[in-house]
Amino acid sequence: MQRNLMWRWLLIGAVSVLAVYFMLPPDKRIHLGLDLKGGIHLVLQVNTQDAVRAEVDDAMERVRVDLTEKGFAPALLQRLPDGDGFQLRPGQNTPAKTLDKVIDDRLAEFKISRGPEIAATLKPEVARAIRDIAVRQGLETIRNRVDQFGVSEPVIQRQGLEGDRIVVQLPGVDDPARVKEIIHSTAFLEIKPVERTAPTEESLLATSSGKVPEDSEVVSGDIEDMEGRITGKEYYLLKKASVITGRDLRNARRSQDQYGQPAVNFTLNPEGARKFGGYTSAHIGDRMAIVLDNKVRSAPVIRGHITDSGIIEGNFTVQGAEDLALVLRAGALPASITYLEERTVGPSLGRDSVKRGLRAGMVGLILVAVFMLVYYKGAGINANVALILNAILLLGAIGALKATLTLPGIAGVILTIGMAVDSNVLVFERIREELELGKTVRNGVALGFQRAFATIIDTHVTTIVSALFLFQFGTGPIKGFAVTLTVGLAISMFTSVFVSRTIFETLLSRRAQVKTLSI
């Protein structure tokens, strides 16, 4: 064999071995997309406005407390309608100096415009940073929750660098509703002092002439009977300032209440324990409310000094208690989220479509292979070897690139295989033409490849160019199509030009005189 040919075979061998290495074992290396494997794909939006509003509320509270402590309670303090700022009308006779000091101390992150009323709006860069942090924290929290839930190979990513959307992909989950609930729950836990309770909102506020006091808020909760059935609603007037929040938790796990019903037990970190201990020892006999996502779960009476642990009771199933413990451990979401897109594919549907698609694809490919053998005889073997190699290299490339194979991705594979067959047909037809013109076999083969080469390059590059644009601008499925197509076409060029030609030339090089070619 000529040196040149030997090098070519070595290259082909090395590439094939590499491909086989990357594709084996196929069920580990070739990642099927959710549409084929089953699982959940979620796109959710972090409502970053929540985080901005919380920041504004915080600042308002600081200003109110500061001014009130100095003896000049503000006459008006309310959030602006768009939520990025607030309005302040100082109480009468508030000295300008006091006011300036409070603004300097407390509102560094706000842009202040003065008039009869003072309008404070968050500086745009600060608001942007708050939004960005909210999305990043949301991402982190969701990742924590999913990790604790124990899904294998989850994908949790921010969509785009600056967006407020998060993409979550969880393969092989069999209870999508539960996972959605776990991800969605804000899990914002607060423990707040109870001022009084009443069965309706009116009667609750009767003693304060129908108004909610400035430092308090009304929160409702369900009343349950001994068996956990909801029998009614109770309204609570709570202090706005919480004793502790979810941030003070060290751990949470499922446990049982005194009746053996599922409940969630939590322990506090040292800072939380200090605050909680101080409060409970000073308020024995008072009630405190355990508020989760703005709903009172229970409102026990403080019976003694509690330091570092507590229990959340109320109408849980075992799974519900476990899920709540999980989200409490993983931390609260900094803002609420909305589901923009959800796709759940059950495993039976995915499995079925893979099975039937593969079977149909095999039928089609076998027909192609048989035709090539019948029509091009000896050369048909050559084409089929190139085709099989094409398939192996493509799978290897998908394995090496860690790409996921989706339904549109398979569309790309089909187009690729179609074009690989086409390249072979182009070459063979061209060789036949050249032989007909009376060229010798060696010349005919060389010319056939040479002439068909330009065409093959043009057809492949045209399609690759369009695939690159699809990759750049397309979303999920269209991108998947573009990836397999681009990779597949590069491989198709290799197999149908390089490999096929090497096979031809090796066969020809074995014989000194070649009179006929089986084509």
Partner 1 sequence: MRFFHNTKIRFMEYRWYWIIASTALNLVAIGLIFFAPGFKYGVDFAGGTQLTLKFSSEPDLGRIRNALEGLKLGEVTIQRFDEANLHQYLIHMQNPAGQEGDFTAHMLQALEKEFGGGTGKIEINLQGSDALRDALAQADPDQVAGTFDDRRTHYKPMADEILSLRKRAGIIKGPEDLASLTALSGGVKTYLAQNAHFGDFALLAAESVGPVVGKDLREKATYAVSFSLLGMLIYIWVRFKLQYGIGAIVANIHDTLITLGALVVTGRAINLPTIAALLTLVGYSTNDTVVIFDRIRERLKLERGKPLITVMDEAINATLSRTIITSGLTWVVVLALFIFGGDVINTFAFVLVIGIIVGTYSSIYIASPIALGMSNWLEKRKQARRRR
Q: Is residue 462 involved in binding partner 1 (CB under 8 A)? A: yes
Total residues in contact with partner 1, by rule CB under 8 A? 83
Q: Please, which residue, 91 or 474, has the CB nearer to partner 1?
A: 474
Ramachandran angles phi, psi of 36, nearest 5°: -100, -25
Q: Taken in order 174, 177, 179, 180, is the CA torsion positive or negative?
A: positive
Q: Is residue 472 involved in binding partner 1 (CB under 8 A)? A: yes
Q: Taken in order 282, 287, 291, 294, is the CA torsion positive or negative?
A: negative
| Cα gap 509→2, rounded to integer Å | 8
203-224 in b/e burial notation, b at 16+ Cβ within 10 A?
Answer: ebbeeeeeeeeeebeebebbeb
Applying the rule CB under 8 A, the residues between 94 and 123 that interact with partner 1 are none
Q: Where are the alpha helices (DSSP H) in 402-440?
A: 407-436
Q: Please, which residue, 87 or 406, has the CB nearer to partner 1?
A: 406
Alpha carbon distances (Å) from 154 to 39, 150, 172, 336, 507? 10, 9, 10, 21, 50
Q: Is residue 293 involved in binding partner 1 (CB under 8 A)? A: no
Query: Of 116, 454, 512, 515, which lies in the binding site for partner 1, with binding defined by CB under 8 A?
Result: 454
Q: Please, which residue, 116 or 150, has the CB nearer to partner 1?
A: 150
Q: Is residue 314 involved in binding partner 1 (CB under 8 A)? A: no
Q: Please, which residue, 10 or 461, has the CB nearer to partner 1?
A: 461
Q: Give the nearest distance from C-beta 338 to partner 1 in angstroms.
A: 5
Applying the rule CB under 8 A, the residues between 207 and 226 that interact with partner 1 are none
| Cα gap 404→35, rounded to integer Å | 11
Binding mask 25-64 for partner 1 (x = CB under 8 A): ----------x--x----x-x-------------------
Q: Please, which residue, 46 or 306, has the CB nearer to partner 1?
A: 46
Contact 287, 147 (CB under 8 A): no
Separation of CA 287 from chain center:
41
Beta bridge partners of 290: 191, 298
Applying the rule CB under 8 A, the residues between 412 and 431 that interact with partner 1 are 412, 414-415, 417-419, 421-422, 425-426, 429
Contact 52, 122 (CB under 8 A): yes
Q: Give the nearest distance from C-beta 515 to partner 1 in angstroms.
A: 20
Q: Give the nearest distance from C-beta 387 to partner 1 in angstroms.
A: 11
Binding mask 166-205 for partner 1 (x = CB under 8 A): -------xxxxxx-x-------------------------
Length of the chain: 519
The region, left, alpha or beta by phi > 0 then psi within -120 to 50, assigned to residue 402 is: left
Applying the rule CB under 8 A, the residues between 328 and 387 that interact with partner 1 are 338-349, 351-353, 356-357, 359-361, 363-365, 367-368, 371, 374-375
Q: Is residue 272 involved in binding partner 1 (CB under 8 A)? A: no
Q: Please, which residue, 118 or 405, has the CB nearer to partner 1?
A: 405
| Cα gap 2→61, rounded to integer Å | 86
